[in-house]
Amino acid sequence: MIIGRGLLGNSLLEIDEDKYLFYANGISNSVLHQIPRNNFEINEIKEIADANGERTFIYFSTAQVNSKSNLDRPYVQHKLFIEDLIAKRFSKYLIIRTSNLVGNNLWNKHTLFNYLFNSLTVNEQITVNPLVTRNFLDTEHFTSLLQTYLDTNSVNKIIEIVNPASFTMNEIINEFEKYFGKKFIIKKVSEISDFALFELNIELSLELFAKCCIPTKDYIPNLLSKYYGQK
């Protein structure tokens, strides 16, 4: 069973089974300045816990919670609260901390790849710190990695499924410019603070990538070709 029909929810259709309840309907805006404790996500999860039965509840959190620099952010506090709520309210659960998912959702202009693609298309200036690191996963890859984990591992824990390879904004911008044959209009900044800092444990992800035979070489141009069309 899947709750949610966004990018993630739709990708989970391929691995949906009745013994699982995939919750892909949570608050996704990571830059909100305030998230009240009586929000729809908390209320909905409490209702599910009361009526869930024997299904394993699978929740998608964020690897942003790993960084101490992020702990004061409302979005991160919200995710940690939800993680604790799930551990207390469900007899069978799995919490997955992941990074940014890239897929067929060009309507959402706030994701990293869509933001860069749209800015490049309309010649809009972007403000970046070239040294800031980003981590992202092809949504289809994420689904395969999750299925492999569920087939071979236990639940009632928090795990990380991320890309073993991370990329600086400078690397990402260079790959975009190379692929589309066009230059960004860039305003560079040097601030080290950033809302999407990650401190990743990639041990499990390395294992899952190997089992799924997913390469990390040419990851960015492969994503661009897959979801943003040919040159």
| Residue pLDDT tens, the chain, 231 long | 898 888 888 889 989 998 999 988 865 555 545 565 667 788 888 888 888 778 899 999 988 888 777 777 777 888 888 899 999 999 999 999 998 899 887 667 778 899 999 999 999 998 888 888 899 999 999 999 999 999 988 899 999 999 999 999 999 999 999 999 999 999 887 765 555 566 899 999 999 999 999 999 999 999 999 998 865
Torsion of CA 42, 9, 33, 157, to 10 degrees: 60
Query: 103 is written with which tokens?
Result: 């897929």
Helix, strand, coil shares of the chain, percent, nearest 5, are 45, 15, 40
- For residues 98 and 66, is the Cβ–Cβ distance under 8 A? no
Q: From CA 172, how far away is CA 102, in angstroms rounded?
A: 13
- For residues 175 and 220, is the Cβ–Cβ distance under 8 A? yes
Output DSSP code: residue 164: S
- For residues 43 and 91, is the Cβ–Cβ distance under 8 A? no
Tally the residues of the chain.
Answer: 231
Backbone angles phi, psi at 25, to 5 degrees: -130, 20
Q: Residue 77's pLDDT is what?
A: 84
Q: Residue 192's pLDDT is what?
A: 57
Q: From CA 159, how far away is CA 71, in angstroms rounded?
A: 19
Q: From CA 85, how far away is CA 76, in angstroms rounded?
A: 14
- Look at residue 106 and give its three-state secondary structure: coil
- Look at residue 59 and give its three-state secondary structure: strand
Whole-prediction pTM? 0.88
Q: Residue 31's pLDDT is what?
A: 52
- For residues 162 and 200, is the Cβ–Cβ distance under 8 A? yes
Tell me the per-residue pLDDT of 170-195, one tens digit each, with 9 for 90 and over: 999 999 999 999 999 998 877 655 55
- For residues 158 and 97, is the Cβ–Cβ distance under 8 A? yes
